[in-house]
Amino acid sequence: MGNEKNITFVNENNLIDTIEGELLCAFEKDNVKYIVYSKNEKDFDNNMIIYFGKIEEYNNKQYVKNLDYSESLEVKDIIRKILSYGEEDRDV
């Protein structure tokens, strides 16, 4: 898709890991920046596996951290709303 980026992650032990991923979407809510990305992996049904993360800054650099359970539910709800936007206006 052309959005391949090196994405740097910080885990709960502050260890850093970098992967090449594809940035699918980014948005901000309540002063927190979120991203939706793919590692170009597919599930058993050949669907793209997507991941969510939040951007945090350390030493003037941006890193992606995993979401806790409640944050992940909130981001999934936002993505559902984005995907269904306009569907209520369609004549079926």
Question: Structure tokens of 55?
Answer: 């951007």
Q: What is the pLDDT at residue 46?
A: 95
| Per-residue model confidence as pLDDT tens digits over 3-60 | 666 777 666 667 677 777 788 888 998 999 998 888 888 999 999 998 888 988 878 8
Backbone angles phi, psi at 12, to 5 degrees: -65, -15
Q: For residue 21, what are the contacts with CB-CB under 8 A and spacing of at least 6?
A: 4, 5, 6, 7, 37, 38, 39, 40, 51
How far is Cα 6 from Cα 43, in angstroms, rounded to an integer? 22
Quickly count: other Cβ atoms within 10 Å of residue 49's Cβ.
Answer: 10
Q: How many domains does the chain have?
A: 1
Domain with 51 in it: 4-89
Q: What is the pLDDT at residue 2?
A: 60
